[in-house]
Structure 1
């Protein structure tokens, strides 16, 4: 009987508790909870509005600063590449708008863009008969370098751009460049006096403009690795042949919140590889005015055997390099070719890239 009374009292207590909860929930407690939730939602909306306003202000400030840098850059880079014959290598995926703006900046620096090479997807991905690459490599003086596939297409293209003729031969690099174009692996555009066959010489310096690598499913990873190997072989070959070189790509400004901070894979690989880091300059924010200025000034420092890494990425040393010494203006010789130029002597004996 005691157990029955105990259970009965328990059931009554439960129902009373439910009734009290219902009454309170429909009355004063409900109003209190509702008011609290409304206050929190209102506060969140206010914070969201404030954050949006702050982001808009920051974006306008960044845009204004970029415009200011863009306006000042022509004077900042003027004379730094006087008389320098430059080749521009455009890899698959590179933004043509960035390339066009970089070309303008090179011209403002006094450089002569004599050759633009657009690399085809087939060369980038290594989708070519190995025999073709080996035959072309055998006609050039391809250097040895750590990690370099000397018979690969990246090495062939690098040796071609550097004019790496074997001893006792002249013009082999030109023949290889024409063969690469015939195979549909590259598109060559000679400009200025170099448009005439009689005035084609290897460029004095090179800028490689990087593009993105395939992403997504598991099938994309092997292709991305193959493309990166080809691109690294191109850079390794040019570096081994002591060609002044800048590797520039976009990403760290517009894709800063993406995985890896938006840094281009080739730029990152060059910075990570000890044998290249000290010889090849890199820029990771080519989409910005400061990035394009850094690419030009970095190339000028490369002509002084000084490498640096610029931009906003994790291994960047500075947004832009310090101004390099100006170069003497070039004059046209009797053969119609501009002679080699030297930098204007600097009063300071300690001028160096940051």
Structure 2
């Protein structure tokens, strides 16, 4: 019989010893190796913790104590600021009556609100005007639809105008935004045309204290007779109207706008403020703006106050306030209206182009 020989692990020569085959590690050696590794690890941890424990832990403890002290300081400062803020909140309520009583004597004020201005700002401004001696006619709030390009056809229909897109000088079609701007311009002109009618109805020369108000119309009656059709069409709202007879020597218009509006009202405001003529007509215009941009507003509208201040002609004709979001801005608006009634156009607040926080105190007459 022939026996099949299995191949040798040593190159086919079973008679020679295998020199290249590695020796097999026994289980005992493997266990000893693992034990040695863990022992070395334990010794390293023990030695390391002994060496770094003192300086490192002391440094960490010192930093922690310092951080706790800073937290206590910040907490105390926050408590103090909260107390100051509470006092300012009280000023918002009580301040106008304390600071503005007796102001605006002989001056009737109409507030025009351009869309969704912060309601707290509107309420604060109205409260400040009511605290003065001048009659508050009411609030003419312009509906946001007037500034919405998607509502252009509706606004144009109410105004009775036809807007047909035309080509510009380059032959390109006029955009929807351009058409909306034309509509806003027409709306602003319509408001500006009617304001002198309001002024004529309330501006009278009072011969004596006893004749004041004889036969005079109430602020609400005057405003509804002039703007009632626009209110019926839903383009304006007449709010906070005066229900008493109103007489005044001059009419002041306070325009409120806000950089957080969805659509820019600049085109409408450009037409509206043309009614301001400090040297002639019995109407003065002051534009007060909420300039603080909300944190979640990534696309605020441009500052209309800055636009006025950068225009040489408008700067001399229209007063401005750039911080209508705070109490100081409300005070500045009232004092600015009073200064405008005396023939002084000014710009108040703390942003670029401001003359000061509030109008300067009028000089005392000589003698």
The answer on 1:77 being equivalent to 2:100 is yes
Task: Tell me, yes or no, if structure 1 residue 191 matches structure 2 residue 191.
Answer: no
Q: How far 1:207 sits from its partner (Å)?
A: 0.8
**Is 1:244 the counterpart of 2:251 in the alignment?**
no
Alignment of structure 1 residues 262-281 onto 2, 5 Å:
265-281=303-319
Q: How far apart, CA to CA, are the structure 2 residues paired with 1:69 and 1:188? A: 24
For 1:320, the equivalent position in structure 2 comes to 358
Asked if 1 retains the 8 angstrom alpha-carbon contact of 2:188 and 2:272, the reply is yes
Partner of 1:213: 260
Q: Does 1:178 align with 2:231?
A: no
Match of 2:329 in 1: 291
Distance in 1, Cα, partners of 2:187 & 2:96: 36
Tell me if structure 1 keeps the 8 A contact 2:145–2:235: yes
The equivalent residue for 1:347 is: 365
In the TM superposition, residue 87 of structure 1 has moved relative to its aligned partner by: 0.8
How many Å separate the matches in 2 of 1:265 and 1:43? 45
- Is 1:35 the counterpart of 2:58 in the alignment? yes
In the TM superposition, what is the alpha-carbon distance from 1:90 to its structure 2 partner? 1.9
Confirm or deny that 1:110 pairs with 2:150: no
Gaps of 5+ in 1: 1-14, 138-147, 166-172, 215-222, 326-345, 350-354
- 1:32–1:177 Cα change, 3 Å: same
Measured in 1, the distance between the counterparts of 2:138 and 2:266 equals 23
**Cα distance change on mapping 1:213 and 1:64 into 2, 3 Å:** closer
Measure how far apart 1:288 and its partner are.
3.6
SS in 1 for 2:258: coil
Q: Which has the larger radius of gyration?
A: 2
Q: CA deviation at 1:264?
A: 8.3
Give distance in 2, aligned partners of 1:164 and 1:106: 18
Q: What secondary structure, in the 3-state scheme, does the structure 2 residue paired with 1:60 have?
A: helix
Structure 2 residue corresponding to 1:101, chosen from 110, 124, 136: 124
| CA offsets 1:54-86 (integer angstroms, 9 cap, x no match) | 233244335536746865643543333122221
Distance in 1 separating the partners of 2:48 and 2:189: 77
Residue 36 of structure 1: CA displacement? Answer: 1.8
Report what 2:344 is aligned to. 306
Cα deviations by residue, 1:5-51 (Å, 9 ceiling, x for unpaired) = xxxxxxxxxx9xx9898666433225422332332233223223312
Q: Structure 1, residues 98-143: CA drift from partner, whole Å, max 9, x if none?
A: 3333323223321111232011010133523274477469xxxxxx
| Mapping 1:19-34, distance limit 5 Å | 25-34=48-57
CA–CA distance in structure 1, aligned partners of residues 304 and 109 of structure 2: 20
In the alignment, the residues of structure 1 paired with residue 48 and residue 188 of structure 2 have an alpha-carbon distance, to the nearest angstrom, of 74
Would the alpha carbon gap of residues 272 and 258 (structure 1) be closer, same or farther in structure 2, given more than 3 Å must change?
farther
Query: How far off is 1:287 after superposition?
Result: 4.2
Q: How many residues align?
A: 280
In structure 1, the residue matched to 2:174 is none
> Structure 2: any 5+ residue segments left out of the alignment?
1-36, 163-180, 200-222
- Residues 239 and 114 of structure 1: CA distance in aligned 2, closer, same or farther (over 3 Å): same
TM-score of the aligned structures, taking structure 1 as reference length: 0.62
Deviation at 1:178, TM superposition (A): 3.2
Q: Give the SS at the match of 2:333.
A: helix
Instruction: Tell me the distance in 2 between the aligned counterparts of 1:266 and 1:70.
Output: 28
1:26 is paired with a residue of what secondary structure?
helix
8 Å contact from structure 1 (residues 162, 202) kept in 2:
no
Report the CA distance shift for 1:115/1:58 in structure 2 as closer, same or farther (over 3 A): closer
Q: 1:224 aligns with which of 263, 267, 285?
A: 263
Q: Is the 8 A contact 1:158 1:238 kept in 2?
A: no
